[in-house]
Structure 1
Amino acid sequence: MLALGAQLSAASAEDVIRFGAPLPITGALAPEAVKQQQGYDLWAEQANKAGGISVGGKKYKVQIVYTDYQSNTPRAVQATEQMISQDNVNFMFGAFGSGAAKAASTVSEKYKVPTLAATASSSQVYDQGYKYLFGTFTPNDTLTTPLTKIIKTKVPDVKKVAILARNDLFPLAIAQEMEKSAKAEGYEVVYSEKYSIGTLDHSAALSQIKSLAPQWIFVTGYTNDLLLVRKQMVDQQMKAPVVTMIAGPAYQEFIDALGPAAENVSSAAWWHPAEQYDGKDIFGTTANFVKLFKAKYNSEPDYGQASAALCGALFQIAIEKAGSLDRDKVRDELAKLDVVTFFGPVKFGANGQINSLDPPVFQIQGGKPVVLFPQAIKQGDLKIGVN
């Protein structure tokens, strides 16, 4: 168990608000955990630099309690139970990804602890009728629908789509949404299969896809999965006019690891540093958040880091509006939030999932993600190369 009091002074226990953050610090999902922790830590640092969170005229410092659930969903559930019942956290950040977030939310709901999930987009996370779970990612179809419309407009010769998905809640869910979006636009889905968690050799699936000659190859998974798939596509000399991967290309690490093989890979995410919002949260403008992140980590933030920081900022707004650490009062303030943040406008639907954003679609061009949609932050047009 790691306890982090970001810039925490020797405040007494009653002057501290404790946030539980179960993360896959080791195991296959470790790269994603690093990003979550960076976002949480940046928010905690900024909140504490400003004197803490104001609760009824008194300032409370932020303390984040981390635990490593080793990329194992049952351990994420156990960690959440321990944080609430033994470590006395006031509020919870959700476990990483849709699958672990859904599983762990059963615990926080049981104890009536408000929980903000930074990386859970699948509608199956929010169909449980829970009152205390909120998520900062819009539903998966908000990524796949714009993607299919862009490809339909820009590359009308694309007719056949192949879909390969990690057998995990979020990747499978977004693959299912992609299949729906593709069929709605008249594409023929010639292949739609899943690969097991931990798969290292994708050659059989890729050979089958290659034999079907799709013009669009769509792959879902997490960073390490997608790096493997893309490298093995290159090894097999697989080429298609359109290659889309979700969610790895949003990360600079993906681009750095692949080099030229990342070029023209398209994707979609829930946030991009090109956005320009004037927020009412502790970060203020999008540009200020990006500046603070760069100063602390010497790199550009991506959607995972931004969403984690947003979760902290939203808790801060809700607690200050409630004027109390009473969990039910804070929960009620979260439920009725309607606020512009550095991340964009935030309003939660009745199921607790955010419904107020248009996630960006982008493509790797010249070693950088270039936004194609929405129009307000568009940086360039889709480039077609035989990937």
Structure 2
Amino acid sequence: MFHPRLAVSAFSASLLLAAAGLGATSSVASAQDVIRFGAPLPITGPLAPEAVKQQQGYDLWAEQANKAGGIDVGGKKYKVEIVYSDYQSNTPRSVQTTEQMITQDKVNFMFGPFGSGAAKAASTIAEKYKVPMLAATASSSQVYDQNYKYLFGTFTPNDTLTTPLTQLVKAKAADVKKIAILARNDLFPLAIAQEMEKSAKANGLEVVYFEKYAINTLDHSATLSQIKSLNPQWVFVTGYTNDLLLIRKQMVDQQMKAGVVTMIAGPAYQEFIESAGQSAENISSASWWHPAEQYNGKDIFGTTANFVKLFKDKYKLEPDYAHASAAVCGALFQMAIEKAGSLDRDKVRDELAKMDVVTFWGPVKFGANGQINSLEPPVFQIQAGKPVVLFPDAIKQGEFKLGVN
């Protein structure tokens, strides 16, 4: 029988994905010497690939914190324990899971579930119990419009991705006049598509198509055929990894060609690039972080380069923004707790609210609504099977290329 709630320590967390249905509980130290962090994740269901990324980021941070002796709370060291739970890619279940973690598993602090929709829903519970929650993958402004005190997020608003992307295309591809936008009908993908529409119109582009597709749609052929008939020079598609791989395959099947094809958020992930193969070439995208960043942080990871090295050593792959955001959420909690010198939730919340610090992720400062407002997210393009940063200039690795078959 499947048990959706699983509590595992940072050291046994790797068992989670291999045996999600078995249920397991372990601790890293006696209860009074442990800080427990709740991490609801979509371990099963269509969003499972995203869960892997967040878990890897959390686990790397917990491992580093515990190797250093734990989190210093007023002169006493506490080990990190992460309580994982599978909400099966179901947003209402993520809300239930969050409440169970707070009331039954007695976690001290919460990581938000994956994505803007689930994070917004679950934040209501964290607010109810006055438990600080750090959301690693929630960018939509609608997540932060509730005037909550206990919710914080490490993604800048969606327009910080679409605006520089649009300006780059306009500068490098003057012939692009028409754009077609296709969005997964889910909070983050739809919100970023709407921001893309605003950015396109503000920069003089004609939006010839804007439609939503339902979650779990498997056949996009009719939609793609309609887009093809409109002959847009730019096709912009939002969704998650599995959605975008499927849409890209069906675009190839229909021999759709455009000067610019942008997909958010899949191309930031190595598994998207590998699965799409040649069809990933020249697809553009944007994200909140890239391994090319060169920050010298005050967090446990220190430099961006050190984080990348530690991640590669542990997982044998290049980290992407989802891994890094999860890891920095742990690091930020650690910094806030140590600064507060206490596990008192209100004191830790206050330290997060006034935080102004550089980390391996970049400069971190939260706005009045709890959303980070201090980053300049990179725009990139898949070239020769690798993401190449095009913006900002400080970490630029190449030039924008036209033409996607």
What does residue 4 of structure 1 align with? 8
1:5: Cα distance to partner?
A: 1.6
Aligned: 1:51 with 2:51: no
What does residue 17 of structure 2 align with? none
What does residue 383 of structure 1 align with? 401
Could you tell me which of 257, 271, 285 is aligned with 1:267? 285
Aligned partners of 2:115 and 2:9: how far apart in 1?
24
Aligned partners of 1:195 and 1:356: how far apart in 2?
32
Could you tell me which of 167, 180, 184 is aligned with 2:185? 167
Could you tell me which of 267, 270, 290 is aligned with 1:249? 267
- 1:176-196 deviation line (CA, Å, top 9, x unaligned): 000000000000000000000
Q: Classify 1:21/1:9 alpha carbon distance in 2 versus 1 (closer, same or farther; 3 Å).
A: closer
Could you tell me which of 136, 144, 149 is aligned with 1:118? 136
2:201 partner letter: K
What does residue 365 of structure 1 align with? 383
What does residue 20 of structure 1 align with? 38
1:11: Cα distance to partner?
A: 1.9
Aligned partners of 1:137 and 1:209: how far apart in 2?
31
Aligned partners of 2:213 and 2:27: how far apart in 1?
48
Report matched runs for 1:332-347 at 5 Å.
332-347=350-365
Aligned partners of 1:118 and 1:107: how far apart in 2?
17
Q: Classify 1:10/1:209 alpha carbon distance in 2 versus 1 (closer, same or farther; 3 Å).
A: closer
Q: Secondary structure at the match of 1:304?
A: helix
Report matched runs for 1:171-250 at 5 Å.
171-250=189-268
Report matched runs for 1:321-336 at 5 Å.
321-336=339-354
Identity of aligned residues (%): 84
Aligned partners of 1:293 and 1:206: how far apart in 2?
38
1:82: Cα distance to partner?
A: 0.1
Q: Secondary structure at the match of 1:372?
A: strand
What does residue 145 of structure 2 align with? 127
Could you tell me which of 73, 95, 101 is aligned with 1:77? 95
- 1:80-110 deviation line (CA, Å, top 9, x unaligned): 0000011000000001000000000000000
8 Å contact kept, 2:281–2:404: no
Aligned: 1:38 with 2:56: yes
- 1:209-233 deviation line (CA, Å, top 9, x unaligned): 0000000000000000000000000
Aligned partners of 2:28 and 2:324: how far apart in 1?
29
Aligned partners of 1:74 and 1:115: how far apart in 2?
17
What does residue 312 of structure 1 align with? 330
Dislocated runs of 4+, deviation >3 Å:
7-10
1:64 partner letter: I
Q: Secondary structure at the match of 2:258?
A: coil
TM-score of the two chains, using structure 1 as the length reference: 0.99
1:358: Cα distance to partner?
A: 0.4
Gaps of 5+ in 1: none
TM-score of the two chains, using structure 2 as the length reference: 0.95
Aligned partners of 2:164 and 2:273: how far apart in 1?
23
Aligned partners of 2:219 and 2:323: how far apart in 1?
29
Q: Secondary structure at the match of 1:59?
A: strand
1:372 partner letter: L
1:10: Cα distance to partner?
A: 5.2
Q: Secondary structure at the match of 1:95?
A: coil
Q: Classify 1:288/1:191 alpha carbon distance in 2 versus 1 (closer, same or farther; 3 Å).
A: same
Q: Classify 1:9/1:186 alpha carbon distance in 2 versus 1 (closer, same or farther; 3 Å).
A: same
Aligned partners of 1:302 and 1:161: how far apart in 2?
27
2:389 partner letter: V
Aligned: 1:147 with 2:165: yes
1:12: Cα distance to partner?
A: 1.1
1:9: Cα distance to partner?
A: 7.3
Aligned partners of 1:11 and 1:35: how far apart in 2?
26
- 1:99-141 deviation line (CA, Å, top 9, x unaligned): 0000000000000000000000000000000000000000000
8 Å contact kept, 2:28–2:81: no
What does residue 279 of structure 1 align with? 297
Aligned: 1:355 with 2:373: yes
1:237 partner letter: Q
2:221 partner letter: S
2:66 partner letter: N
1:368 partner letter: K
Aligned partners of 1:64 and 1:57: how far apart in 2?
22
- 1:56-103 deviation line (CA, Å, top 9, x unaligned): 000000000000000000000000000001100000000100000000
Query: What is the aligned length?
Result: 387
Aligned partners of 1:220 and 1:87: how far apart in 2?
36
Aligned partners of 1:379 and 1:124: how far apart in 2?
33
Aligned partners of 1:254 and 1:363: how far apart in 2?
13
Aligned partners of 2:260 and 2:122: how far apart in 1?
37
Gaps of 5+ in 2: 12-25
Q: Secondary structure at the match of 1:280?
A: coil
1:244 partner letter: T
